[in-house]
Every structure is written in structure tokens, then in C-alpha cells.
Structure 1
Amino acid sequence: MSKTRFLTFIFMLVSVMMVLAACGGGEKEAGDDSSSDEGSAKDAKIAIGPPASETNTVSKILLAAHGLEEGDYQVFQEAFGDAADGVQDGNIDISIGILGLPAGSIESLQASSGDVVMLGLSDEAIEEIEANTEYKRYTIPKDSYDFLESDVETVAAYAVLMGNTDTIDEELGYELARIMLEHADEVTHAQGADMTLENALNGADGLPIHPGAKRYYEEQGLTVDNPVAELTADESDRKNEFILGTGSQGGTYYPLGGEIANVWNNHLDSSFTNMETGASVENLATIGEGQMDLGMAVHVPSLDAINGKGDFEGNPIENAAFIGHIYPEVVQIITRETTGITSLGGSE
């Protein structure tokens, strides 16, 4: 090939490459600003929580509220601790969790990576979520984490304690509620501060209440309007060992539930053991199967369980009753600066 023809060939090749670049050829990389989806979660690898968990259900709802349906992103059904590890390693772009505030796992991720970004929900998405679920707008104050530069808008519900009416008799229900409040100062976890008499009935609306818990709250001057659960449990044949269903080790339920169980153990003759689970939905279902005595759960799936809706469609849980409020459950969505993602639904 002559020198002239070679130079002509190179010129044509460069021209073709420039045209392809101008037309957006090639796959979009993280942080690529060449499309209208700049900074959005479209095509991202998103951890939406374990299967059959409240996080899994809520994640799909809030992503859909931002215009992201299944197929628009890669799904990872990981527990929050594993999801945070995936974000740390770069194998997951976004992790969605329903957690106490602040969440230790998020603080740990920031300590190791130094570039955590918390994504907020759009006003339109929050309005849609409020209209179709029991979740309500919640503002995460910027002083919740040292990496936040401003408040973050999201939604929240309540974490509550549900008891098995076939194994938790009236007197035991009374003592469980009483000890949770009167010895809350023995809980060192940050969410222990939310277990107060003022908050005791948060999340109870629409749920049957355990008669023992009702008796305690009314003795403390609270008005309890909930329907009262019927018990088959009897103090005369109370067992000695009880199981408390919590959540994954990377979330809030497991460590907090462990501390609550220890407080009960310190003040009751019975033995309480916290068990790692898939959290709300699994705990409620396992209570219904008679394989669990107590379960931590978001109040929203608890209502579904009682009414036979949502994940419990046609299969209501008839032996679960509200014992007490634990703490506000806040939807927290994290990514890292390296992903280039700044919102769930595009530039805002």
C-alpha cells in the first residue's frame, strides 16, 4: 500500500470513529453524561433486599415510582450487610435498606470507602408512595451522617414487636412490654432511645393488640383503641425458651433484637434467643406457622399479614398481636461517588 493510500485509510478510520462517538456508540459507562439518563439508576446493579422481605417489596414500589420497572436494572436480592459489601467492592451500584437512623453498616461503609452518597426520593415519588402504601415522608437530617451535605427526603414506617398469641400468655405479654420500656436504658444500640412510653403505640393503628400489653399501657395512662387479640396461650403451661425473629446481621433488627432479648433475659426467668431471618415478612409468616414466638416487623406488612393482603394475599396470619413500638424504620438508599449515580430517576 502506498503512503498516500495508507494516510487516506487512517483518515477514513478516524472519521468513522468520531461519527460513532457522536452518535453514542458503545455501552454507557458509570458516570457517562452522553444520554438523557445522566446520573440515573437505569441499568444499575441494585440490591433490593432478600426475597420475601419488606425491603424487597418496598424497593420495587419506590423504583417503579421513579419510572424504573423490572428489566430496567439488574436485581440483587441481598441482605443489607452483604449488599453494603457489594457496594464496597463495586459489584453493586445501589443498596436499598429499611434501617434505623443512623445505620451502623452505612457508617462502616463510609469509614472504609470515604465516598458514600445517599440518594433521596423525588417529591412526585413520595406522593405516589404515600398514596399507595402506609409509608410517609421522612426527612433524614444532614447531621445523621458526617458525609451528608444536606437533608435527604425519603419515606419511613415503624418497626414493631409482634407476638404469637399461641405462646405468649397475657402475663408474659405484659412483662415483655413493661421491660422493653422500663429498662430501655439498658439497650446500648442507638434505636433503644426510641423505646419510650410516648412512642409505645406508634405503628399500632389497625393491629390487634396483645391483652397483656394493652393492660400495661393503660396502667401507664395511654388510651388503647385497638381490637384485643384472643389468646390460646396460658401461663400455666408456659414454655421456658422463646425465639425472637429479627433480620440480617448487616441491618438494624439483628443487633438491636439481640440486645432486647438480653434485657428480657436479665429480668425474666424464661430464655429469649434472637434469630437471624429475612426480617418482617419471614418473621410474620413463621409466627403464623407456629415456629416463632416473637418477631420484629415493619408495621406495614404486619397490617397485610393480619388482613391477608400483599405478600399474605388470601393467607391472613390469625395468631399475631402487637406488643410494642421499637423505632422508626427509614428507607435509606446508598451508592458511591464512583458510580456517577445521583438519583433514582434521572437528573434532579
Structure 2
Amino acid sequence: MRKSLFGFMTILLGMMLLTVACSKGDTNIAIGPPASETNSVSKIILGAYGLEKGDYKEYQEGFGDAADGVQDGNIDISIGILGLPAASIESLQASVGDVVMISLSDDAIAKIEETSGYRRHTIPKDTYDFLESDVETVTAYAILMGSTDTIDDELGYELAKTMIEKASENTHAQAKQMILENALRGAEGLPIHPGAKRYYEEQGLTVDNPVAELIADESSRKNEFILGTGSQGGTYYPLGGEMASIWNKYIDGINVTNTETGASVENLSSIRDGHMDLGMTVHVPALQAVNGEAAFEGNEVPNAAFIGHIYPEVIQIVTRESAGIKSFEDLK
């Protein structure tokens, strides 16, 4: 009897070990679309925990599709760069009722700050109904960059002016961040569009940025402009849609069309290549783009200039209680 019991326990233990071994690397993590800043910062975050390919399965999804995957149980963790609060996260919680937001450890945050332009940020527990405590994460700034090939001096002025002075007509929650006091957040180190600089200085702001040189001329201004945003499930797309509508309403002779993209990196690359006139982006890849670093090494973006701050971008990492994951350390 004892031998039989011992044999059974040995088999059971073996099965448990096999299960653990098989589960290593089976965690499905949505890290953002290719050529997006979400994709880049996700790898920085995972690297801060010593996690590499093979330690998890990556899904290069926009946050909307990723949230659907979390809801369906096909994705275990979704990493997004979103405003606070994020409607997509609130919608996910309303659907499943067991959303968990993952905090980053102090050690991981220190490593992220050392290797990127992201800085520590605390998400207060009253931001979402499902939070039981504050969440520690990192943040950057969403900004608007414009092409120096197609956005002339006067148009740059009008774009910046309208962003600030007509933001109250934008119904998106993040539009309240587009105020004069915030206008130069995320501009550090970037060339500024001369038209935007002129507007901000008229309003009493001090602008120390290098001034971009323009090829664009008002006399040959086109009528149709493209604004690169992000995925429909994120913040950029709906917010950018309202920004475009307000520009079209108040700036004579232009029509701005917002388009769904992979966000930051794709938008900056498209400005460089002449496929877009305006692009929403996190300030970190914008710096990399103008300096020819990271994803832009050997492919810098010399024709993009800062036009204005949009809102603070906060890394928000969600899973579900049913996934049983409390920290990235659980994946080691």
C-alpha cells in the first residue's frame, strides 16, 4: 500500500513539474503593434524584469484588439500607453468584472528610468473603481509633431492656437490637458515649429527650443492634410478625430483627416517619408526620431517639428484575476 501511494505521489509530482515546465513561456502578452512606442516600451519593461523572447508569447496588437483578447481569455496581459482614466479599460472591467492592474517594482522602474525617457508615475486608486491600492508605473507625454515640408509658418501658428483656445469644444476626456500651462510639456530637446513658437511666445511662454527650418510656404499650401493617430481602441484615434474636426471648423481652407495607424513610430516615419503631415506621438520616440537613435538609427526624421503637448501618457498594464498573475516576477 505504501509503495502504491509512493508511486502515485511520484507520478503526481512528475505531472505537476511537467505542467510548470510546459507553462513557462506560455503567457500571452500584448505588447502593441509593430512600429509603435507601446511595442518599444513593452520590451523595455519586460527587459527590466529580465524577461526575453521565450519567456512569454508576444502578441503585437493595438490596445482595442488586445482588450478583446483579455476579455476572451486569449491574452493574459495587455500593455498600453493611455490617458487616465482609459475608457477601454473601464469598458473591459464592465464586461469581465475582474480586471487587475499590474504595478511595476521599484527596481524595474529604476532600470526603465536609466534606459529611457520614461519617469515614475503613481496611478491613484480612485482612478478606477476596481483598484484596491495605488499603482506604480511610468509615464511620458503625448505630443503633436508636424512636417516642416507641408506645415507652413501661419498654419503651424493656427494649429497650435486652435489646440489651446478651442480645446473646451473637444469632448474627449484628455482634451482638458491641452491648456497653455501644459503647452510645452514634452518639447524638451525637440525642434519647435516656428509658427507654434510665435503663438506660445505671444501668450507669454518662454521657448528655448531650437527652431525648425521650414520648406513649407503658405503661398503653395495644399488643402488636404493627414493626421496620424493610433489604433481605434486607444486614446489617439478618437481624440485625434475630434482635434481634426475642430481644426477644420476654425482654420479656413484646410481639411485634416485623421487616420488609424500603429501610432508613434509609424507616424514619425510617415512624416519623414512624406505620407503624413501631422502625427501624434510619445515624446520619447520623437526625440529618438530627430536624433536618429533606437528604432530610427540610420533613419532619422529631419523634417518633423514640435507643435504642442496633448496629454500625459501613462503605461497601464492589465490582466484578469482568472489569469492568476500579480506581477511580471510571476513569469520568471
TM-score (norm 2): 0.96
Looking at structure 2, the residues matched to 48 and 25 of structure 1 have their Cα atoms a distance apart, in angstroms, of 29
2:322 maps to 1:338: yes
- The AA in structure 2 aligned to 1:26 is L
- Report the secondary structure of 2:285's partner residue: helix
Indicate the residue corresponding to 1:299 in structure 2: 283
Moved more, 65-74 or 193-202: 65-74
Indicate the residue corresponding to 1:26 in structure 2: 18
- Cα offsets for 1:5-41 (capped at 9, x unmatched): xxx7xx75553231233454331399x9xxxxxxxx9
Looking at structure 2, the residues matched to 271 and 70 of structure 1 have their Cα atoms a distance apart, in angstroms, of 43
Q: Contact 1:42–1:68 (CA<8 Å) still a contact in 2?
A: no
2:250 maps to 1:267: yes
Indicate the residue corresponding to 1:84 in structure 2: 67
- The AA in structure 1 aligned to 2:102 is L
Q: Contact 1:136–1:157 (CA<8 Å) still a contact in 2?
A: yes
Larger Rg: 1
- Cα offsets for 1:238-297 (capped at 9, x unmatched): 111110000000000000000111110110121111000000000000000011000000
- Report the secondary structure of 2:41's partner residue: helix
What does 1:94-243 correspond to in 2, within 5 Å? Answer: 94-243=77-226
Gaps of 5+ in 1: 1-7, 33-40
Indicate the residue corresponding to 2:76 in structure 1: 93
Q: Contact 1:160–1:296 (CA<8 Å) still a contact in 2?
A: yes
Q: Contact 1:45–1:73 (CA<8 Å) still a contact in 2?
A: yes
Looking at structure 2, the residues matched to 29 and 234 of structure 1 have their Cα atoms a distance apart, in angstroms, of 63
- Root-mean-square deviation (CA), in Å? 1.7
Q: Contact 2:244–2:256 (CA<8 Å) still a contact in 1?
A: yes
Q: Contact 1:47–1:78 (CA<8 Å) still a contact in 2?
A: yes
Looking at structure 1, the residues matched to 257 and 5 of structure 2 have their Cα atoms a distance apart, in angstroms, of 68
How far 1:66 moved relative to its partner?
Answer: 1.2
How far 1:237 moved relative to its partner?
Answer: 0.8
Looking at structure 2, the residues matched to 340 and 236 of structure 1 have their Cα atoms a distance apart, in angstroms, of 61
- The AA in structure 2 aligned to 1:299 is H
Looking at structure 1, the residues matched to 8 and 320 of structure 2 have their Cα atoms a distance apart, in angstroms, of 32
- Report the secondary structure of 1:208's partner residue: coil
Indicate the residue corresponding to 2:292 in structure 1: 308
Q: Contact 2:149–2:214 (CA<8 Å) still a contact in 1?
A: yes
- Report the secondary structure of 1:221's partner residue: coil
Gaps of 5+ in 2: none
Looking at structure 2, the residues matched to 276 and 207 of structure 1 have their Cα atoms a distance apart, in angstroms, of 25
Looking at structure 2, the residues matched to 277 and 253 of structure 1 have their Cα atoms a distance apart, in angstroms, of 9
Q: Contact 1:118–1:334 (CA<8 Å) still a contact in 2?
A: yes
Q: Which runs of 4+ in 1 moved over 2 A?
A: 11-17, 20-26
Q: Contact 1:119–1:152 (CA<8 Å) still a contact in 2?
A: yes
Indicate the residue corresponding to 1:317 in structure 2: 301
Q: Contact 1:67–1:345 (CA<8 Å) still a contact in 2?
A: no
Indicate the residue corresponding to 1:4 in structure 2: none
Give % identity.
70
Looking at structure 2, the residues matched to 185 and 29 of structure 1 have their Cα atoms a distance apart, in angstroms, of 54
- The AA in structure 1 aligned to 2:213 is E
Structure (1/2) with the larger helix percentage: 2
Indicate the residue corresponding to 2:261 in structure 1: 277
Looking at structure 2, the residues matched to 221 and 141 of structure 1 have their Cα atoms a distance apart, in angstroms, of 33
- Report the secondary structure of 2:121's partner residue: strand
Q: Contact 1:42–1:344 (CA<8 Å) still a contact in 2?
A: no
- The AA in structure 2 aligned to 1:28 is V
- Cα offsets for 1:27-64 (capped at 9, x unmatched): 1399x9xxxxxxxx964110000111111110011011
Q: Contact 1:159–1:326 (CA<8 Å) still a contact in 2?
A: yes
- Report the secondary structure of 1:249's partner residue: coil
- Cα offsets for 1:43-88 (capped at 9, x unmatched): 4110000111111110011011012111100111111100000000
Q: Contact 1:49–1:55 (CA<8 Å) still a contact in 2?
A: yes
Q: Contact 1:245–1:296 (CA<8 Å) still a contact in 2?
A: yes
- Cα offsets for 1:298-320 (capped at 9, x unmatched): 00000000000010001110100
